[in-house]
């Protein structure tokens, strides 16, 4: 399939291998696919389905299985684990008045977040284009994914992260996989500005979601759900919003799937932001007249972002899908996390914003009774052990959150016991009674 880089603002086009990060007008670039050229939608679906039973790494990958809609690269050049083989869990829809509810667990990717789907594409492309070194800004997960894919590609990796406010699981991954890690005196938005400047003026390949190849990989979250749900999608897709890469990628996937005839009706996107880090929700209240950057604060450090780079692509997604953007408090995020954790699905705080957001949108009647919804859980529970422990030990005050009866009920602290079987059994008997 023919591909070009195309500006989403002025439609200017550039060859696919152009190294610029933005259009000369400053607009964001898309990898634009010439969909006219393609096989029928029925042929595509049966080919995607056939590949699930193939042993080839490019078919085993839940990203490259959809390569017609991702990128054409020779199979032996792919930097893949493989990734993207994540489960779709059915949850109880009754408490929300829904007809069906699913959670897609992107925390089951090789490095524990959805970032692997974008990173396999961005790093494979960078290797194909003989990149010298890779760089990103990150709230944690992107740096972990880049560190891993960079190591597999034998390319040097540089990551810029905020000093503090980064979950331990993520930082330890980046260090362990060998990324040169720089903690900057600033937040994610400062780091993002710095890496964009560095990549624009030096021979460093930027792999944040400003890199349009990342988004081509992240589109496969939608394609994968579509195949797992028998070539269909629910009424609503609920996703947390930070730098708005997923929001942008999902909208692009849905635009392309509609154009290919894979979908008759388009699901609506619901983007959920943390109350203290909600520049996109605030812009939605102004009918997207403009984005006002803010100083973000939330316990969901993955989405502690005040100036999302993908803003204009995300607006396109909301417009195309008649989507909504809403916010939830940190306390609501923690309660939702506890609910998902107790179902042994588990996730990091940013992911749980989806369940909290679903609760808000169903109680407000925006997601209607009898509709179906899909939550995108973006990261693994193991990414952020500090928050899980604060919740379990009843110390949410350490996170700056006021204790409430609901949060208190989430506690499950470990008990110190003597090493004596009889005493331990007394405790067990008491618990079971």
Q: Can you give the binding site for ligand F0G, defined by CB under 6 A?
A: 113, 115, 138-142, 209, 240-247, 302-303, 348, 350-351, 378-379
Report the 10 Å Cβ neighbour count for 76.
7
Phi, then psi, of 217 in degrees rounded to 5? -70, -40
- Name the minimum Å distance from CB 395 to ligand F0G: 22
51/219 with CB nearer ligand F0G: 219
Smallest gap from residue 356 Cβ to ligand F0G (A): 13
Instruction: Map residue 30 onto helix, strand or coil.
Output: strand
Measured distance CA(59)–CA(317) in Å, rounded: 28
Which residue, 13 or 198, has its beta carbon nearer to ligand F0G? 198
**To the nearest whole angstrom, how small is the minimum distance from the Cβ of residue 166 to ligand F0G?**
9
Helix ranges (DSSP H) in 322-398: 330-342, 349-363, 385-392
Please state the closest distance from residue 110 (CB atom) to ligand F0G, in A: 15
∠ CA 370-229-67 to the nearest 5 degrees? 140
Q: Closest separation between CB of residue 361 and ligand F0G, Å? A: 18
Residue among 303 and 374 whose Cβ is closer to ligand F0G: 303
CB 413 within 8 A of CB 388: no
Q: How far is the CB of 221 from ligand F0G (least distance, A)?
A: 10
The number of beta carbons lying within 10 Å of the beta carbon of residue 403 is: 13
- Residue closer to ligand F0G by CB (options 44, 353) is 353
189 versus 235: smaller Cβ distance to ligand F0G = 189
* 317 within 8 A of 247, measured Cβ to Cβ: yes
The distance of closest approach from Cβ of residue 60 to ligand F0G in the complex, given in angstroms and rounded to an integer, is 24
Helical ranges in 38-114 per DSSP H: 41-51, 57-60
Instruction: Considering the complex, state which of residue 44 and residue 314 has its C-beta at the smaller distance from ligand F0G.
Output: 314
8-state DSSP, 155: -
Q: Which of 89, 93, 29 is nearest to 228 (CA)?
A: 89
- How many Cα atoms are found within 13 Å in the side-chain-facing hemisphere of 283? 24
Q: Cβ closer to ligand F0G: 138 or 173? A: 138
């Amino acid at each position: 399939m023919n591909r070009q880089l195309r500006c989403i603002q002025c439609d200017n086009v550039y060859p696919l291998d152009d190294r610029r990060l933005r259009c000369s007008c400053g607009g964001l670039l898309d990898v634009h696919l010439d969909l006219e050229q393609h096989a029928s939608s029925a042929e595509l679906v049966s080919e995607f389905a056939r590949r699930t039973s193939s042993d080839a790494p490019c078919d085993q990958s839940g990203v490259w299985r959809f390569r017609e809609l991702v990128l054409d690269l020779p199979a032996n050049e792919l930097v893949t684990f493989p990734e993207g083989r994540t489960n779709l869990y059915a949850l109880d829809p009754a408490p929300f008045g829904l007809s069906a509810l699913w959670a897609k667990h992107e925390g089951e990717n090789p490095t524990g977040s959805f970032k692997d789907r974008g990173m396999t594409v961005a790093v494979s492309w960078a290797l194909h284009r003989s990149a010298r070194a890779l760089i990103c800004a990150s709230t944690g997960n992107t740096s972990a994914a880049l560190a891993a894919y960079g190591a597999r590609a034998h390319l040097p990796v540089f990551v810029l992260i905020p000093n503090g406010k980064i979950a331990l699981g993520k930082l330890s991954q980046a260090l362990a996989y060998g990324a040169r890690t720089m903690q900057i005196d600033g937040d994610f938005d400062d780091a993002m500005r710095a890496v964009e400047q560095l990549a624009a003026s030096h021979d460093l390949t930027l792999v944040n979601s400003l890199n349009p190849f990342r988004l081509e990989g992240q589109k496969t979250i939608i394609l994968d759900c579509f195949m797992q749900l028998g070539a269909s999608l629910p009424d609503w897709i609920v996703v947390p919003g930070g730098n708005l890469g997923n929001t942008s990628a999902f909208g692009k996937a849905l635009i392309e799937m509609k154009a290919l005839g894979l979908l008759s009706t388009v699901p609506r996107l619901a983007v959920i932001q943390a109350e203290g880090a909600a520049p996109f929700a605030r812009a939605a209240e102004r009918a997207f007249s403009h984005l006002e950057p803010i100083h973000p604060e939330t316990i969901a450090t993955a989405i502690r972002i005040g100036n999302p780079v993908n803003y204009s692509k995300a607006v396109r997604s909301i417009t195309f899908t008649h989507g909504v953007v809403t916010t939830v408090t940190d306390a609501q995020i923690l309660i939702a996390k506890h609910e998902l954790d107790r179902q042994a699905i588990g996730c990091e705080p940013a992911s749980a914003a989806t369940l909290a957001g679903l609760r808000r949108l169903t109680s407000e009647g925006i997601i209607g009774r009898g509709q179906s919804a899909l939550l995108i859980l973006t990261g693994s529970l193991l990414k952020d052990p500090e928050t899980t422990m604060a919740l379990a030990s009843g110390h949410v005050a350490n996170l700056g959150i006021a204790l409430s009866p609901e949060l208190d009920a989430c506690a499950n602290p470990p008990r110190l016991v003597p090493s004596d079987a009889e005493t331990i059994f007394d405790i067990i008997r008491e618990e079971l009674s």
